[in-house]
Structure 1
């Protein structure tokens, strides 16, 4: 029996941060440059009102539909599928429109992952896989297997988990 890997979508398979940056830069008179937005997290740069305004965009229809795939994700996941049972574990219930949009996104960008291996949930502590690749330390803290923290501006201070900076790093660790 193959070992199992659960992979988060947002900021792991899908470049959700880049979508937020694009929306921000297209907005009314952005205060920060693309370079600044690559150096610091939204929490570090924005005041509470600015952060709330941008983060509310996830509730808009279409937000999750056109997010770019993380560089290297398709190739490495295809290789992982040769060695592991791969599941996509995404907290889709938090945002009402995201369930359908995430389903469609997976069908379009990762057609080899069957819908049987989609897990849309709220609490990832129920996952029973050998590995979890996620960008949120809180999800790894309650996970029983081995966790990999996918590098992001919002988690760079966390040192509790094994950090992977790219899909290339995941390939080196798991293939």
Structure 2
């Protein structure tokens, strides 16, 4: 089994990177609800994936095989301005949260090797809603100035 964290940041044209949101998913709990019988009492959708979180639906990760794992990114509201890029980082849970962090992000025993698919024929995807007809009323906010959204100089990651 593996715990996955997806972190979304805005890479701004001024060279800074702003935290937007993150989400977590234990891969064995990846089965999505098909009805309202879940913790949120509403059906799972493309923009709002809701796992069943039931023991009966838990499935081990298969060895050497890709499986779909939706990582919910709950309730983000962020205006991406022209010239910005959206960065998605997939990792194990770590201390990158702005307000709190996992107490022990490293497992006490064992290790996992996890591959994330990102090829053109079988890409990973990020699904975000777009609000039509909405104009962002301001320029980029100073870095840092957004509550609970830390900002730092952008540094590329090498895979």
Q: TM-score, normalised by structure 1?
A: 0.27
Which structure is larger by alpha-carbon Rg, 1 or 2? 2
Q: Which has the larger strand fraction?
A: 2
Q: TM-score, normalised by structure 2?
A: 0.29
